[in-house]
Amino acid sequence: MSQEPEPRLRLPLWITAMVLIILLGVIAWQQARIETLQEKSREADSPLHAGPGRALTPGGGDGEALPTRTQRTRQDPLASARQEHTRAVEKQLSEISAPLNEDMMSTMFRAEIQNGRSIVTGGYRTADGRNQFTILKPKVVRTASGREQIEIDSHLIAMSEQDTRRSGLDTLATQARNTLQHAESWEESDVSTTMDLLRDSTDSENLGAPKVLLEPGQDFTIQMTSDDRSSYTLSGTATLAPDGSGVILKARIEQKEKPE
């Protein structure tokens, strides 16, 4: 007996707007933390900064020689951790704010993908008037030594408006150039139906199907040029689900189009 497909939920625009507002608040909070950490770092580097009772003499006499920056870092095991956190926050802020500074389309999501299922994301409109989607299917594979790795099969597809509706991808199609948590979990039968439609269509196509093999927790980047005017970058991190039911995938897609 065939089973009814699971309903695909589409987030209302007001929820997307709330998420964006919350994200901007997080960005402001993180930026304030970065400025605080940088100020503390400058104070620590200042030759006039010393702990209570420390003599501020370069050496000799009754005072102590000031420690160098390297020595301070070694003496403070938390210093390197704070610096690493600052760099990570700055990188995150740079990625999130990139669409504000560059002409690009982007999608960000984090999802736990169960074994045998795929994640479908994207849906933004490209210069040729079609909707572009990314299909990702991660799976856990074992090496000859028994070590677990993660293999990710991907498809970058461009769909006409008609084919978008026929395949059910209209639930993801959007006029927004940048989206958050914009993804759906599909069964293998849904993906197969869509790929069959692509093969029979003259208006839609599969632009590429790269594959990567990763160690759990390893970062990855896939780059493609879909035509002479646009570039596509998929980057992220894949880890094993704690209960072994699948893969947790955190990914970001950037689509940049060159001006005519």
- If one compares 155 and 32, the residue with the highest pLDDT of the two is 155
What proportion of the chain, given as a percentage, has pLDDT over 90?
38
Q: Do residues 93 and 72 both lie within one domain?
A: yes
Q: Do residues 77 and 154 both lie within one domain?
A: no
Helix, coil or strand: residue 67: coil
- Rounded Cα gap, residues 115 and 28, in angstroms: 37
pLDDT score at 15: 61
Indicate whether 48 pLDDT > 50: no
Mean pLDDT taken over the chain: 76
Q: Do residues 86 and 126 both lie within one domain?
A: no
Q: Do residues 164 and 128 both lie within one domain?
A: yes
How much is the average pLDDT of 211-233? 85
Indicate whether 214 pLDDT > 70: yes
Q: Do residues 132 and 205 both lie within one domain?
A: yes
Quick one: residue 168, left, alpha or beta (phi over 0 = left, psi -120 to 50 = alpha)?
left
Indicate whether 61 pLDDT > 70: no
Asked whether residue 163 is assigned to any structural domain, the reply reads yes
**From start to end of the chain, where are the E strands?**
104-114, 118-125, 131-142, 148-159, 178-180, 183-186, 205-208, 211-214, 219-227, 230-240, 246-257
- Rounded Cα gap, residues 209 and 252, in angstroms: 17
Q: Which residues fall within 8 angstroms of residue 19, CB to CB, at 6 or more apart?
A: 180, 181
26-35, 60-69, 141-150, 158-167: segment of lowest average pLDDT = 60-69
Asked whether residue 193 is assigned to any structural domain, the reply reads yes
20-29, 89-98, 217-226: segment of lowest average pLDDT = 89-98
Cα dihedral value 34, 248, 167, 204, nearest 10: 60
Asked whether residue 30 is assigned to any structural domain, the reply reads no
Q: Do residues 126 and 230 both lie within one domain?
A: yes
Indicate whether 66 pLDDT > 60: no
Asked whether residue 22 is assigned to any structural domain, the reply reads no
Q: Which residues fall within 8 angstroms of residue 55, CB to CB, at 6 or more apart?
A: 61, 62, 63, 64
How much is the average pLDDT of 221-247? 85
Q: Do residues 95 and 149 both lie within one domain?
A: no
Decide which of 74, 101, 128 is a domain's last residue. Answer: 101
Task: Residue 232: give the domain boundaries.
Answer: 104-257
Q: Do residues 154 and 228 both lie within one domain?
A: yes
Cα dihedral value 144, 145, 148, 154, nearest 10: -30
What proportion of the chain, given as a percentage, has pLDDT over 70?
59
- For residue 70, what are its two tokens? 């390297």
Q: Do residues 88 and 184 both lie within one domain?
A: no
- For residue 118, what are its two tokens? 């795929």
Q: Do residues 85 and 164 both lie within one domain?
A: no
Indicate whether 250 pLDDT > 90: yes
Q: Do residues 127 and 79 both lie within one domain?
A: no
Asked whether residue 75 is assigned to any structural domain, the reply reads yes
Indicate whether 31 pLDDT > 70: no
Per the listing, tokens 């000799």 go with 60
Asked whether residue 10 is assigned to any structural domain, the reply reads no
Q: Do residues 70 and 168 both lie within one domain?
A: no
Asked whether residue 249 is assigned to any structural domain, the reply reads yes
Helix, coil or strand: residue 42: helix
Q: Which residues fall within 8 angstroms of residue 54, CB to CB, at 6 or more apart?
A: 64
- If one compares 97 and 5, the residue with the highest pLDDT of the two is 97
**pLDDT per residue as tens digits for the range 166-180:** 999 999 998 887 787
**pLDDT per residue as tens digits for the range 98-126:** 555 556 788 888 999 999 999 999 888 88
Burial class (CB in 10 A: 0-12, 13-18, 19+), 142: exposed
- Going by pLDDT thresholds of 50, 70 and 90, the confidence category of residue 182 is confident
- Rounded Cα gap, residues 166 and 92, in angstroms: 37
- If one compares 173 and 25, the residue with the highest pLDDT of the two is 173
Asked whether residue 19 is assigned to any structural domain, the reply reads no
Give me the number of domains the chain comprises. 2
